[in-house]
């Protein structure tokens, strides 16, 4: 009788493993969805990819115009998020592919989670030319609060402006992050 129980236990475990069913596995993943490509003269947030399973990189992107170009000297904006679900992950230093050599300040508003204040400014008002296509202005990272699973949660643009722009720059959409 003992040999039969041992055989059945091993057989059952093998079947569960073969069909992908096993106890103790974690199928929870970090998911990001965005509004797609940035429209001409519009800034939006774009999913840049998950790293390490608990951190998501978010790009701030600017769409260039199809037939001409736009110039500007910088961007100022806030990113808002739910601090009960997400944590902002500050980088040691920031660089901008769109604004090389710019002064970049990124900090939590009043040191409190939930709002990240960002300023990207070229020195001495120097202008950057934005041609056709989507250009990355900055990459930021968020991670889930430890032990928390959550459905779609927005990271949104707020209090936004473009400085020294040759045309109106709009700030259109954020991203939605979930960990489930």
The domain segmentation of the chain, as residue ranges, is: 27-179
Mean residue pLDDT of the chain comes to 86
pLDDT tens digit sequence for 32-80: 999 889 999 999 999 998 887 779 999 999 998 877 888 999 999 999 9
Rounded mean pLDDT, 86-104:
94
Do 138 and 45 meet the contact criterion of CB atoms below 8 Å apart?
no
Secondary structure of 85-118 in HEC code, one letter for each residue: CEEEECCCCCCCCCCCCCEEEEEEHHHCCCEEEE
Rounded mean pLDDT, 83-104:
95
pLDDT tens digit sequence for 13-34: 444 444 444 444 456 788 999 9
Q: Does domain 27-179 have CATH number 3.20.20.70?
A: no
For 170, residues 6+ apart whose C-beta sits below 8 A from its C-beta are 39, 41, 42, 43
């Amino acid at each position: 009788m003992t040999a039969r129980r041992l055989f059945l236990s091993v057989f059952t475990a093998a079947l569960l493993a073969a069909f992908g069913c096993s106890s103790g596995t974690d199928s929870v993943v970090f998911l990001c969805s965005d509004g797609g490509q940035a429209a001409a003269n519009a800034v939006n947030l774009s999913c840049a990819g998950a790293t390490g399973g608990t951190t998501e990189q978010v790009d701030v992107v600017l769409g260039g115009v199809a037939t001409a170009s736009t110039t500007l000297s910088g961007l100022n904006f806030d990113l808002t998020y739910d601090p009960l679900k997400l944590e902002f992950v500050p980088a040691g230093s920031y660089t901008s592919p769109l604004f090389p050599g710019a002064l970049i300040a990124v900090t939590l508003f009043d040191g409190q989670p939930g709002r990240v204040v960002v300023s990207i400014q070229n020195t001495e008002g120097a202008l950057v030319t934005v041609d056709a296509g989507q250009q990355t202005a900055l990459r930021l990272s968020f991670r889930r609060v430890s032990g928390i699973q959550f459905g779609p949660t927005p990271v949104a643009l707020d209090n936004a402006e473009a400085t020294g722009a040759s045309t109106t720059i709009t700030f259109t959409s954020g991203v939605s992050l979930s960990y489930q």
